[in-house]
Amino acid sequence: MALHATAVLALDYISTDRFQHRQADPFDQQSELLGLQRDRRTISQALKEAGNGLSGLALGHQNPLPQTRRRT
């Protein structure tokens, strides 16, 4: 049977430092996850903007060709 962390601490099976570390781990992991999700959204947005920029460049290169053909 698994003992609850506070029971383990009360029985002196783990140190107070280790107990506090175990308590902090989920919060640290949650914080890191939120940071990574924020980074992912930022990178996805930058990727979309770069793709839109490339699409705009491709259209810009296509448009002068018909004008050049009309002049000749």
- Predicted TM-score of the model (pTM): 0.54
Return the HEC string of the chain. CCCCHHHHHHCCCCCHHHHHHHHHHHHHHHHHHHHHHHHHHHHHHHHHHHHHHHHHHHHHHHCHHHHHHHHC
Q: What is the pLDDT of residues 25-40, one digit of tens each?
A: 889 999 999 999 999 9
Share of the chain above pLDDT 90, in %: 35
Q: What rounded mean pLDDT belongs to the chain?
A: 80
